A and B are shown apart, each in its own frame.
Chain A
Amino acid sequence: MTGILRTLVIAWKELLQLRRDRLTMAMMFMLPIVQLTLFGYAINTDVRHIPTVVYDQDGSAASRDLAHSLEATGFYDLVGHVSDYDEIQRSLRSSKARVALIIPPNYASDLVRGRTAHVQLVVDGSDPQVVASATNTAASMVTARSSTLLVTKLQRAGAGGVAMPIELEPNTWYNPDLRTAVFIVPGLVGVILTMTMVMLTAMALARERERGTLEQLIVSPVRKLGLVIGKIVPYVAIGYVQMSLILLVGWLIFDVPIRGSIGLLYGLASLFIAANLAIGLFFSTLARTQQQAMQMSFFFLLPNILLSGFMFPFEAMPRPAQILALGLPLTHFLRVVRGIVLKGSVFADLAPQLVAMAAILVALVLFASARFTKKLV
């Protein structure tokens, strides 16, 4: 009983201090909003409207038709016509265009005579993301066109019952318009929680150490567990507020729906938040000053952003990076939050993540509490 009271006394003190620390408070609530806006608007992996020049050596109706259907895909913006290879080079170098379509002379007559027409697509490779999108789109457009031409030709030649042998109908679920924001916003919940939870806990204890008040705390009869819980409980509350803020703003501004159960999300988030607090606690046992605590937290953030699947797909990473990533709570929480928010996943879908996060949490708590003692040095 006195133990619980003491824990509450510490939590209350922490809140009093937080209330007077306007800067930190402002940071904690501004950070999610600023990050959300930055990531939501600036990071846009949809490649569209690539400036394109056309070098039409044929000048026929058929060649003009090809150029137009390329533009009709929405991926290419025709920004001009050029009349030789030098001009193509100048356009790419000056970034006036990133793609050039070269239609050979005799394009129309080759089609009529049944010869293969060699259409060339020159792509600026300095941005790999553009290359992939540009070539894929053009290739599938041209393939579709060729097949149609072949089928028509066969039918005209009298082959009855000729149809396209195979046709793929792609059907994207959960984010049919492939909007980046829909993908980024739930991920941002995890990234921002990692950042603030780890940093705040590490800083909160490092501050006491730096100012000498930790010595006064550990000389008191407060239990170790009570001390730690009292120190971090206020930050758990802040974590939930941040999470709600991101989801709310994501819904209002970026139209990100929440398809699954909010209760399930908040429940599973508790494991994730607790794991990050344990990491912060561990950092605080290593850091002598607030600055060191801050540096460690930033250092920890980097692998989280790169490896967790927030920016790059987990499946595309090499094996060692994947193994490392599985040790990060964020990797599992991202699957939880994206699953619930975007796909409406239910508890049974997320059981593996629950187990993984619980295991990481237990390991971290054991590790951090072995390091954190009521002793100096």
Chain B
Amino acid sequence: MSAPAQTTAIVETEHLSRHFGSLVAVRDVSLSVQRGEIFGVLGPNGAGKSTTIRMLCGILDPTGGRGTVVGYDIARDAEKIKQRIGYMTQRFSLYEDLSVIENLRFYAGIYGVAWKKRKARVDAVLSSSGLEQRKDQLAGTLSGGWKQRVALACATIHEPPLLFLDEPTAGVDPVSRRDFWEQIHAIASQGTTVLLTTHYMDEAERCHRLSFIFRGTLLDVGTPDEIVARRHLQVAELEVERATDAAALLRTRPEVEEVAHYGHTLRVAVRGGADPERIVREVLEGGGVAVDSLRRSRVTVEDAFVAMVRAEAEAA
């Protein structure tokens, strides 16, 4: 699944595992992240995404397997790793009783940004995140989108070559998310590697490569296109009068992976390379439901994600 060790890998793990008592939060995860890429980690709640990131950051010891980050072993050289990474925790953990600029200066200080460079760095991140106007506002009084910008600014103040972002866009509005992603791509284009987790499928498609984690196990790694292709799904969209009845009929067919409502539209995914338009016609005409319109649609990462989680849940 993962490529053999290459010199360009900035994160590499082999059979990385973490138990909490009898609970296995991460099981045998082997993956590698290349320098300069935006690497997305997807998985349902409790899949083990944050646990994996924490092990890679050196703040949680693995109970099995090994890993290297920026060339250092995560168990032995955690403190060396900490110099060279930026980490944004799942909830933007800022000092709410400090102002934006005080937060930035604090993180610049503890990451050892040289005194002479400090002011320039603080000004640079303030301007790249559009925070100049709010630099004296207390962090606790900012709205979600602005907090996220401050958190990202803090995590990048020391220009780390590797950035871990744990659900950086949770609870942030679509416009802010878009701005955020533009910033992530700008950061990556300067050579910084970004590893992030997300629950938003549109964001998953913006990553160079993706991985799927389910109940602690790595299910698949690849570019969004590769991951979608490996599911062998075909998707059609249709408009019908009695959408709920139509959906119930469609679900009786074994090839049908998933039927989902989008307003007046139904989205039907079928497995194994079957022709979705043919199946829809057969089923609905047989059931006496009139089809108003029917067209092929692109298979999304979301379709692939749902299919994978369903298959695993059924197998378990």
Contacts and interface: CB of A to CB of B under 8 A. Distances in A.
Nearest to A3: B112
Contacts of B111: 220-221
A44 to B, nearest CB: 42
A5 interface: yes
Nearest to A1: B112
A2 B93 contact: no
A20 B138 CA distance: 11
Contacts of B96: 211
Interface string B46-65: 00000000100111110000
Contacts of A16: 98, 102
Contacts of B83: 221
B59 A375 contact: yes
B94 interface: yes
Contacts of A10: 110
Contacts of B85: 219
A17 B97 contact: yes
B249 to A, nearest CB: 48
A13 to B, nearest CB: 5
Interface string B131-145: 000000000000000
Given A220-B82, A222-B110, A21 B57 contact: no
B200 interface: no
A220 B87 CA distance: 9
B112 A376 contact: no
Contacts of B78: 374
A170 interface: no
A154 B107 CA distance: 92
28 contacts: A5-B115, A9-B109, A9-B110, A10-B110, A17-B98, A20-B98, A212-B89, A212-B91, A213-B94, A215-B93, A216-B89, A216-B107, A216-B154, A217-B110, A218-B59, A219-B57, A219-B58, A219-B59, A220-B107, A221-B79, A221-B83, A221-B110, A221-B111, A222-B110, A374-B79, A375-B61, A376-B60, A377-B20
A376 B109 contact: no
Contacts of B93: 211-213, 215-216
Which residue of A10, A213, A216 has the most chain B CB atoms within 10 A of its CB atom?
A: A216
A215 B164 CA distance: 13
Nearest to B92: A212
Contacts of B95: 13, 17, 213
A264 to B, nearest CB: 37
Contacts of B79: 221, 374
Contacts, number: 70
A133 B112 CA distance: 67
Interface in A195-245: 211-213, 215-222
A213 B155 CA distance: 12
B60 A13 contact: no
B97 A9 contact: no
A343 interface: no
A376 B56 CA distance: 13
Contact of A221 (B54, B61, B82): B82
A6 interface: yes
Contacts of A218: 59
A219 B98 CA distance: 20
Interface string B67-106: 0000000000011001101010101011111100010001
Q: Is the interface of A mostly helix, strand, loop or mixed?
A: helix
B87 A216 contact: yes
Contacts of A6: 109-110, 112
Given A9-B106, A376-B54, A219 B61 contact: no
Contact of B60 (A9, A20, A21, A377): A377
Contacts of B112: 2, 5-6, 221
A8 to B, nearest CB: 8
A376 to B, nearest CB: 5
Interface in A321-377: 374-377
Interface string A292-310: 0000000000000000000
Nearest to A226: B110
Given A16-B98, A212-B89, A213-B95, A220 B59 contact: no
A219 B87 contact: yes
A19 to B, nearest CB: 9
Nearest to B84: A221
Nearest to A10: B110
Contacts of A13: 95, 98, 102, 106
A20 to B, nearest CB: 5
Contacts of A213: 93-95
Nearest to A227: B110
Given A217-B110, A220-B110, A376 B59 contact: yes
A219 B102 CA distance: 19
A12 B106 CA distance: 9
A218 B115 CA distance: 22
Nearest to A217: B110
A351 B181 CA distance: 65
Which residue of A10, A17, A221 has the most chain B CB atoms within 10 A of its CB atom?
A: A221
Contacts of A21: 97
B110 to A, nearest CB: 5
Nearest to B85: A219
A253 to B, nearest CB: 35
A375 B60 contact: yes
